[in-house]
Structure formats: structure tokens, C-alpha cells
Structure 1
Amino acid sequence: MNKHAYTYTILQYRHDVWSGECMNVGVLVYCPDLSYLKLRIRSGGARLSNAYPGIDRSALLHDMRELERWFDRKNNERGSEWIWRSAHDIGLHLLGNDDSSLRWHLDASGVTNNPEAIHEQLFQRLVVKHDPEPGRMPRSDEQVFEVVKSKLKTAEVLSRMEPHTVRSSYSEVTFEHSFKNGKWHCLQAISLDSADAEQMQRKAERWAGVLVGISEAPEPFTVYLVTGKPSQSELLRQYERMMELLRHAPTRPVVLDEDESDEVARRIAGAAH
């Protein structure tokens, strides 16, 4: 069976242009002999939300779907642009490697008689390999917050909470549940229910980095972090280590486990009076 040359490139989401840290979110494959040009992207953003607190997931998924549709339209054209040298070149033609959050990585090639099958293999290996196992969805930050929400309501403090953005010269972060009593008290739930120890560490380190960015904010504030434990017992030791990492982050946040919801509510209610 004849083999046909194909090229591929990876679409990456770059959350912080300055640090250069990226996550693979799609794969573009181009096989001109078989008139195949297609971008495959993530269908959901749970892993992105867990990895990058504060990300505008809806806007990012919208932008990626627009890219996907553009390549679908281009695939149906039969003009001179089918002589592009590689998938990477086509990607750069549409979306250059500037300071935007989406960028192209890798200019690779191979041969195949089934571009759809090779596309699936590349997508599984390069984009979703480290996603949670099917049937086991890690809890979100919102689900962890639900654990403490009823306690805050009973303590008559939930109704007083509102979104507040802490700003410094370097960064800003919005805490959805905050109240002011002399200074701002900002509550954030963080799910550390991860697929593995490495993912858990990345998320804890990112939140520590968030606190670095606002540590020199001019206004006084206290951050309360409620952490959600992993459902896998073998990850509990790593979970304890990550709680300690967060306790030693800049601003010295109050870090309590979700099982300590009563204590969380007590401390916040005490600060509110």
C-alpha cells in the first residue's frame, strides 16, 4: 500500500508569555497527497482550569474552535495553497508566533496511508496522554468550595462575600468569595484531587506563584485556601507536602483541608466581627 508524506505541528496554550510555560491543546496534520488538512483540539477545559487558576476557559475554547473551523474550510478548498511546505507553515500563516496565548510548536513529518488514524495517535500521545482516566473526573475547585459553603452560610458570613481583585505592580488575581472588615479577607478553594503527584505539584506551585505576584499589593489582605484532598490514597502524602508548600507561599495564607470546614468558617466569621 502506498505511503504518503504528512507533516504535523502542535497547538499550545501559553498561559504566561514571560515564563514560556505551555500546555499542548491541539494537533494540526497536513497530508497534501490525500487532501487532508485538519486541526484537532481539546473538547473541554477541565485540565486547563486545574492547571491555570483564573483562566478564561470559555474564551480560549471559543478561539480554538474558530481555528478548527478555519482549517475545516481550508480543507475543502482546492487551490494553490495546497502546495504549502508543512503544517507548521500553514499554522504560522494563520496564527504567527507572537505574544498571543496560542502558538505553534514543532515542525515534524512522517509517512502514512491513513492520515486520520495517525492524527488520532498523535492527539492521544501529544495532547491527552496525561489526562485523568476515563470514568474518574477529579473534583473541581467549585466542588471543593461546596464543602465549605454551607458552613459559611450557617456562620452568617456567606451573604457578605463578594468578588474582589487584589492588584500589585506585577499581577492581579480575583477571589470570588471575599469580604472587607478593616482589610480584605479572600477565600479560595483549591482542588488537589489530581491524576498523579506531578499534576498536584504543578497546581500547588502555580497557586504559590499567584501569591508571589500579589505579595506586594499595597492594600492589606489575608488569603484563606481550602484544599480538596485526592481520592487516591497513594497521593495523600504528596497532598500533605503540597499543603505545606502553600503555607510557606508569600502572603502566608491560611491553609486548611476541606475536612476542616468548621474551622475555616470559624476563622472567617471571627474576622468578620
Structure 2
Amino acid sequence: MKTDFCTYCILKYKHSPYLDESINIGVLIFYASTQKFSFKYSRNLSRVKSIYENIPEKTIKEYLRQIDNRLNKFHSTDKDIFPLNDLELKDFLSKNILSSDSTILQFSNFKTIKKGKFEESYIENIILQQNFVDDIKHIPYSPQEPKIISNLYRELNKFGLKDVKNNNRFKEDYSITTKNGAKFSFEFAWKNGLWNLVKPVGFDLKTSDGIIEKAHKNLGQFTDLESENSNYKYNLIVGKPSSKKLYKSYDSALNILEKLKYTEIVEEKDISKYSINVIEHIKDEISN
């Protein structure tokens, strides 16, 4: 029978089977009403690495990856996986997800709470706040792209955008459609012989993996666009991470994007110079 309860347990790292101590590195939540699991865990193991030396980092991350992959196979909304009780959940996890005699990672005892009318994201946030430190707590994420565009428009207006905006060489909310029907939208386009399509790409993310993944995603998208649309150039206005620890990954992301042939990469620090260039070229096109 489906209920409005959810059950959760903490995934703990035990550095030594001889020491009665552990560190919380993940949480597994099971929602009975939807028969779905939510697994949140530390991506960088910062707490573990700050306490212990020479931890088996690769082994731990492989465990975490396998747990995540195995749980995804049991997502279901059609039937009950098992009754909502601790014994059934423990048996399920031990047989299918993580053996109960694992010495490095172990699930704690289960706790069941009433979900009520609260959103799952709200429940997750409460559990994380109660059991974890900052490396996996929900930190409100504000996309960097709106800030980049706001800064860009401020600079464009400073150098005379209003004088050239209402002509056929500057178009806002520009979109193109590929041969396979995929639609790509751009903040605006400006003409300098070819149309330059402008898109912000923010790399102020939480992890190095996230930055590299986003770079590869954009590389794939714009590689497809370049191969289909030779009448355009693409201007990516990129934002830098706020954490200095991620600067190296950001540089790697730029190296990935620089493989694009008809795409110009503009760092946010160069927006003023870029804005001057845009306005001057639009004026030159108009005068010609």
C-alpha cells in the first residue's frame, strides 16, 4: 500500500573496522508514494580527506557510483518494490545495492518520517541540513548566465547600443533550427558580414566534473551547429567560477571550447572590449 511516508538512512564511511567512528558521506531516501529513491552523496569527499590521510578515494568513489547506478534500476511508479518497513529495506539494500558487511561504507539504521504535502526537495533539504556539512548540503544555485547577459547589456548600452538597436543588424531573441528539428535560442544576434549569435555560458559550478561536463556539452552542440550553418558565427560569453579551486578546470573548459572553428570565446572580464567591438562593427555595417 502506498503511503505519504518516506524512509531514509545515512551512508557512512568507516576508515577502520577497529575504530568506533564514522563520517556521514551520503543519504538514501525512499519515497513510498512514488516508489522512488533519492541518493545524495559527497562528490569530493572533502570531510573524509580533511580527517584521514591516504584514504582509498578511488575505491570510495567507485562504490558511490555503483550505488547510484544500481538504485536507478529500481525506480518504479507501477508497483510496490517492498512494504515500507526497516527489515525489508535493509534486506533489499544488502542484496541489491551494498552488502551489509562492507567495511568501508555502511548504511545506518533507517528512520521513517511523514512526508505529508511537502515537496520531495524540501524533505531532502531538511534531512541534509540535519545530518551533513557543506559538501553535500543543498546550496541555493543561481545560474550565472543572467548575470553575464546583464553585464553585457550594461556595457553595450554604455557604448551606444540604443543608437544602433532599432535596425536590421541587431536582433534580440534570435533562434535557429537544425535539419533534425532541434531549436537553439540566442540572447541576441549582430551582423558583421555574418550573423554573430550570442550565448552566455556560466562555469560558476560546484565541481570540476560539472565544469568539464558543461564544456563538452556545449562543444557537442556547437560542433553540430557549425557543421550545419556556415552562415553564422557563434559568440560564447563565458563566466569564471567564483572558487579559485576550480580555476584549473575552468581553463580546461576553455581549451575544450577553443576546438570550435567558427566560435569566438569571450571571457566575462573582456565584456567591455567585446561590447565596443560589437557597436563599432554594427555602425560600420550601417554606414556601408
Instruction: Tell me which interval the TM-score lies in, with the shorter structure as reference length.
Output: 0.5 to 0.7
Task: For 1:189 and 1:199, locate their aligned partners in 2 and report how far apart those are by CA, in whole Å.
Answer: 17
- Over aligned residues, Cα RMSD in angstroms? 4.1
The match for 2:245 is 234
CA contact (8 A) 2:31 2:37 kept: no
The match for 2:160 is 156
Q: How does 1:128-207 map to 2 (within 5 A)?
A: 134=138, 137=141, 139-157=143-161, 159=165, 160-170=170-180, 171-180=182-191, 182-207=193-218
TM-score by length of 2: 0.51
CA contact (8 A) 1:164 1:177 kept: yes
2:209 match: secondary structure: helix
Per the alignment, do residues 236 and 163 of structure 1 end up closer, same or farther by CA in structure 2, a change over 3 Å counting? same
CA contact (8 A) 1:256 1:264 kept: yes
The match for 1:260 is 270
The match for 1:29 is 31
Task: For 1:165 and 1:235, locate their aligned partners in 2 and report how far apart those are by CA, in whole Å.
Answer: 32
Q: How does 1:18-97 map to 2 (within 5 A)?
A: 29-30=31-32, 37-38=33-34, 88-89=75-76, 91-92=77-78
Per the alignment, do residues 130 and 241 of structure 1 end up closer, same or farther by CA in structure 2, a change over 3 Å counting? farther
Letter matched to residue 31 of structure 2 = V
Task: For 2:240 and 2:75, locate their aligned partners in 1 and report how far apart those are by CA, in whole Å.
Answer: 41
CA contact (8 A) 1:138 1:194 kept: no
CA contact (8 A) 1:131 1:195 kept: no
2:220 match: secondary structure: helix
Higher gyration radius (CA) = 2
The match for 1:247 is 258
2:248 match: secondary structure: helix
Letter matched to residue 153 of structure 2 = K
CA contact (8 A) 1:175 1:188 kept: yes
- Asked if residue 269 in structure 1 is aligned to residue 279 in structure 2, the reply is yes
Q: Which has the higher contact order (CA 8 A, sep 6+)?
A: 1
CA contact (8 A) 1:166 1:214 kept: no
CA contact (8 A) 1:167 1:217 kept: no
2:228 match: secondary structure: coil
Per the alignment, do residues 167 and 131 of structure 1 end up closer, same or farther by CA in structure 2, a change over 3 Å counting? farther
Per the alignment, do residues 164 and 132 of structure 1 end up closer, same or farther by CA in structure 2, a change over 3 Å counting? farther
Q: Aligned residues: percent identity? A: 14
Give how far 1:140 is off. 2.0
CA contact (8 A) 2:197 2:232 kept: yes
2:241 match: secondary structure: coil
Task: For 1:130 and 1:245, locate their aligned partners in 2 and report how far apart those are by CA, in whole Å.
Answer: 30
- Asked if residue 116 in structure 1 is aligned to residue 110 in structure 2, the reply is no
2:188 match: secondary structure: strand
Give how far 1:260 is off. 0.6
* Match among 218, 226, 236 for residue 225 of structure 1: 236
Per the alignment, do residues 220 and 27 of structure 1 end up closer, same or farther by CA in structure 2, a change over 3 Å counting? farther
- For structure 2, which runs of at least 5 residues remain unmatched after alignment? 1-5, 9-27, 39-73, 80-90, 95-108
